[in-house]
């Protein structure tokens, strides 16, 4: 490990490879585990001590050489915070969908009158550049950033996403630890699926059309839900220690709790996690 880090640092300091490639070395942390395992295996083989030492040295040299080649030959990753703005025209679409796949993130999703645009996104990030793609024929948007554990700092991903309020939306979010604010008061929400880690979610809902499913899965979850006055909704919370405050009525349990009323137009909300703290209240529309 010391030889590997020292070799790369020396090449950076002598300007053989650019410092902005150093981030790529974090992709290779599993190589350290592989090298350690191979070294332990070699020491236990029924061979002479000199042959064992030669084999161990070759393993280390191959690991160091391959790592340096990966860092030097691959594309550089800009350091610091970068900015990306994207949008796309709505055309004749009558429905939109968005799939977000990121690691730790801060997400804000709102609805707005965007004129002729389907969406507008403003992303601030560090690490690899996010990917934003749009299938124009279906109105499907995919936003992603490759993640993983990096020994050279943490990735940062902050997004302000505005969706056209002129059409219904199907939304899926897959993230790590997150701090999310969803304002769907001007969004025709068809469904929401949110798979996350230890997260805080603040979700403002609009007026439902039909039975609108909302599913949130995660670890330690704190979820605050707001809906217009006189809007029907059911909330089911399951997991370990769960707490549900539905319109001021407290429900606590180990396992699952449910509250709410059903109607033709309603939100059906299911929240699954470890320790869950959930509130549902009403706001004047």
42, 73, 104: which is the final residue of a domain? Answer: 73
Pair 42, 154 in one domain: no
Pair 44, 101 in one domain: no
Q: How many domains does the chain have?
A: 2
Pair 114, 181 in one domain: yes
Pair 26, 116 in one domain: no
Question: Which segments of the chain are extended strands (E)?
Answer: 82-89, 96-101, 105-112, 117-126, 131-135, 140-144, 156-164, 168-174, 178-183, 188-195, 199-204, 211-217, 221-228, 232-246, 249-260, 266-273, 276-283
Range of the domain at 65: 2-73
Per-residue pLDDT of the chain (285 residues; tens, 9 = 90+): 677 667 767 776 776 666 556 666 666 777 778 888 888 888 888 888 888 888 888 888 888 778 777 766 665 555 568 899 999 999 999 999 999 999 889 999 999 999 999 999 999 998 788 999 999 999 999 999 975 444 444 568 999 999 999 999 999 999 988 999 999 999 999 999 999 988 999 999 999 999 999 999 999 999 999 999 999 999 999 998 899 999 999 999 888 999 999 999 999 999 999 899 999 999 854
- Give the CB-side neighbour count of residue 36, counting CA atoms within 13 A: 7
What's the pTM value of the predicted model, to 2 decimals? 0.73
Pair 270, 136 in one domain: yes
Pair 226, 266 in one domain: yes
Pair 32, 118 in one domain: no
Pair 118, 176 in one domain: yes
73, 90, 116: which is the final residue of a domain? Answer: 73
Using CA of residue 27, residue 32, residue 33, residue 35, what is the dihedral sign? positive
Pair 249, 114 in one domain: yes
Residues ≥6 apart with Cβ < 8 Å to 56? 39, 42, 43
């Amino acid at each position: 490990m010391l030889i590997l880090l020292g070799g790369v640092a020396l090449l950076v300091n002598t300007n053989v490879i650019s410092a902005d490639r150093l981030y790529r070395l974090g992709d290779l942390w599993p190589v350290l585990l592989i090298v350690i395992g191979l070294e332990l295996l070699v020491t236990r083989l029924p061979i002479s001590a000199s042959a064992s030492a030669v084999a161990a040295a070759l393993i280390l040299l191959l690991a160091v050489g391959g790592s340096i080649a990966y860092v030097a030959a691959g594309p550089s990753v800009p350091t610091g915070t970068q900015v990306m703005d994207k949008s796309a025209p709505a055309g004749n679409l009558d429905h939109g969908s968005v799939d977000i796949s990121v690691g730790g993130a801060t997400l804000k999703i709102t609805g707005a009158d965007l004129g002729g645009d389907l969406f507008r996104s403003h992303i601030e990030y560090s690490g690899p550049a996010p990917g934003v793609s749009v299938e124009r024929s279906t109105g499907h948007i995919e936003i992603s950033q490759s993640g993983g554990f990096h020994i050279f700092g943490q990735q940062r991903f902050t997004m302000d996403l505005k969706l056209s309020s002129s059409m219904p939306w199907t939304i899926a979010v897959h993230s790590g630890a997150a701090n999310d604010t969803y304002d769907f008061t001007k969004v025709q929400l068809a469904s929401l699926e949110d798979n996350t880690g230890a997260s805080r979610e603040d979700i403002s809902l609009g007026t439902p059309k039909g039975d609108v499913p909302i599913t949130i899965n995660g670890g330690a979850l704190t979820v605050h839900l707001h809906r217009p006055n006189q809007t029907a909704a059911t909330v089911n919370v399951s997991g370990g220690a769960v707490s549900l405050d539905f319109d001021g009525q407290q429900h606590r349990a180990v396992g699952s709790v449910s509250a709410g009323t059903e109607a033709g137009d309603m939100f059906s909300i299911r929240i699954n996690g470890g320790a869950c703290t959930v509130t549902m209240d009403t706001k004047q529309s």
